[in-house]
């Protein structure tokens, strides 16, 4: 029936129409963000000098980053409807160490999880026969290398820094997982975890495009809802640093000439909990005032990959020894990455 | 029906539970609620991302907070 098929075709195309409309609106807002704040802050309120610069930086950056986040999170969420942890686990089950670590780190980037899911994921992977070191590669890569981090680094430091960050992050996840795997970590897992018989997960039906876009929209809402206080806080502090901290303030204490700057930054970052959106606007300002790039990036990695709340959650399944080992291996890897960055830039 | 919310007591789990309760009340379905926070029990359902919605032993959702309409559809479909 031509009429029926015509209608169903229109229904199938409708979600694409919404996405196109959204993209148009997004582009208009992006352009407006450039123009509005110049007019308003400098001409409208007549602010100039430090205060004007700081206010302009805050408003412009908040608008720009929020818009970029919306686009990137939406696109990534839609792409990710093609990947699920169930499929990831099936891909990783029975993988050897080495290759397995590499595949796990790659899949970690493609499979996001909120830190409250770290424990169920860990149990799910281990009970399905994924080696511990391979599971660790996954758990390290996922929070550290993701679209939000890469996009923010790209827009603040350029594509070279963003790609190097992603590359180093992946290598770090592979190596750290491999090293932990070599140390027979099974002895330091809480015994009950190894006895869990996880049910095989049933995979749902293939989602339609409309459902994929709905997932994307929901993801934008969840992620922005979670991230915006961090983001606005970081940009506000960053704006204050831009405006009032003297130029080259940090060079005296933590510039490239101080060999301890990187490890200190990592030690400071480990207990802190934030996501990339809450750190990168801040480190951009710190970098502008003389902190070396490797130092601020090492700080970023430490903040997003390791945190006290996540450790407390993981403590339920890992003995303190393995937890300590995890922090030590990942932390030293981050220090190495920091030095490498400082050597390159 | 027997509704279980799986998750470590995070904000998302509470949001999901609130939606399910709302749907149950609106539809007038007879249901019991239980929060499952034990990780071994969560794993036994094959769930790797919380929160998850389990009704009468079947996993209907995991790893995301759905919208109200979706929860309502799920419960409505089972209620008949």
In sequence order, what DSSP letters do the residues of A22-55 get, joined into one string?
HHHHHHHHHHHHHHHHIIIIIIIS---HHHHHHH
Query: B80: cis peptide before it, omega within 30°?
Result: no
Residue B5 — very low, low, confident or very high, per pLDDT cuts 50/70/90?
very high
Average pLDDT for A238-263 = 76
What local confidence, expressed as pLDDT, does residue A1 receive? 40
What local confidence, expressed as pLDDT, does residue A166 receive? 94
d(CA A280, CA A86): 31
Residue A69 — very low, low, confident or very high, per pLDDT cuts 50/70/90?
confident
d(CA A121, CA A89): 9
- Between positions 128 and 187 of A, the ones with CB within 8 A of B are none
Query: Which pair of structure tokens corresponds to residue A135?
Result: 């599971």
Residue A3 — very low, low, confident or very high, per pLDDT cuts 50/70/90?
very low
Query: Which pair of structure tokens corresponds to residue B1?
Result: 């029906």
Residue among B7, B48, B66 whose CB faces A121 most closely: B48
Tell me which residue has tokens 């990187």: A262
Active site residue B10: yes
What local confidence, expressed as pLDDT, does residue A229 receive? 85
Mutate to test the interface with A, among B5, B19, B44, B49 (most CBs of A within 10 A): B49
Residue A199 clears pLDDT 70, i.e. is over it:
no
**Spatial CA neighbour of A285 closest among A230, A339, A336, A246:** A246
Task: Report the percent of chain A where pLDDT is more than 70.
Answer: 88
Average pLDDT for A77-96 = 76
Does the domain at residues B2-79 carry the CATH identifier 3.30.450.40?
Answer: no
Residue A316 clears pLDDT 80, i.e. is over it:
yes
Would you call B48 and A202 a contact, using CB atoms and an 8 Å cutoff?
A: no
Which positions ≥6 away from A7 have C-beta within 8 Å? none
Lowest pLDDT segment from A101-110, A138-147, A175-184, A219-228: A219-228
Residue A203 clears pLDDT 60, i.e. is over it:
no
Residues in chain A closer than 8 A to B63 (CB atoms): 85, 113, 117
Decide: helix, strand or coil at residue A126. helix
| Domains of chain B by residue range | 2-79
């Amino acid at each position: 029936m031509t009429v029926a098929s015509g209608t169903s075709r229109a229904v199938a195309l409708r979600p694409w129409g919404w996405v196109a409309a959204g993209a148009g609106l997004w582009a208009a807002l992006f352009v407006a963000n450039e123009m509005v704040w110049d007019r308003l802050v400098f001409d409208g309120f007549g602010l100039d000098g430090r205060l004007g610069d700081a206010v302009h930086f805050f408003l412009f950056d908040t608008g720009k980053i929020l818009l970029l986040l919306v686009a990137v999170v939406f696109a990534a969420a839609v792409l990710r409807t093609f990947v699920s942890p169930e499929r990831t686990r099936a891909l990783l089950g029975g993988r050897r160490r080495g290759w397995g670590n590499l595949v796990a780190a790659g899949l970690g980037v493609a499979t996001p999880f909120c830190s409250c899911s770290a424990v169920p994921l860990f149990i799910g992977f281990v009970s399905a026969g994924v080696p511990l070191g391979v599971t660790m590669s996954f758990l390290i890569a996922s929070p550290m290398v993701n679209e939000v981090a890469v996009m923010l680094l790209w827009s603040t430091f350029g594509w070279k820094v963003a790609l190097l960050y992603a590359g180093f992050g992946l290598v770090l996840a592979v190596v750290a997982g491999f090293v932990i795997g070599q140390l027979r970590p099974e002895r330091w897992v809480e015994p009950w975890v190894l006895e869990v018989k996880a049910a095989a997960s049933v995979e749902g039906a293939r989602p339609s495009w409309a459902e994929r876009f709905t997932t994307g929209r929901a993801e934008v809402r969840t992620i922005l809802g979670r991230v915006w206080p961090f983001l606005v806080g970081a940009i506000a502090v960053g704006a204050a640093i831009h405006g009032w901290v003297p130029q080259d303030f940090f060079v005296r204490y933590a510039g490239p000439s101080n060999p301890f700057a990187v490890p200190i930054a990592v030690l400071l970052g480990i207990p802190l909990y934030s996501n990339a959106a809450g750190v990168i606007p801040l480190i951009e300002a710190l970098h502008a005032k003389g902190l070396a790039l490797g130092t601020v990036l090492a700080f970023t990695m430490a903040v997003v990959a390791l945190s006290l709340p996540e450790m407390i959650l993981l403590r339920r399944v890992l003995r303190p020894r393995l937890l300590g080992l995890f922090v030590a291996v990942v932390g030293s890897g981050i220090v190495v990455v920091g030095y490498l960055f400082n050597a390159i830039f | 029906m027997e509704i279980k919310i799986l998750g470590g007591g995070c904000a998302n789990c509470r949001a999901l539970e609130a939606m399910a309760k709302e749907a149950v009340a609106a539809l007038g379905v007879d249901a019991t609620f239980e929060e499952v926070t034990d990780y071994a029990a969560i794993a036994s359902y094959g769930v790797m991302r919380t929160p998850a919605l389990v009704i009468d032993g079947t996993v209907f959702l995991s790893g995301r907070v759905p919208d109200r309409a979706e929860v309502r559809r799920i419960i409505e479909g089972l209620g008949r």
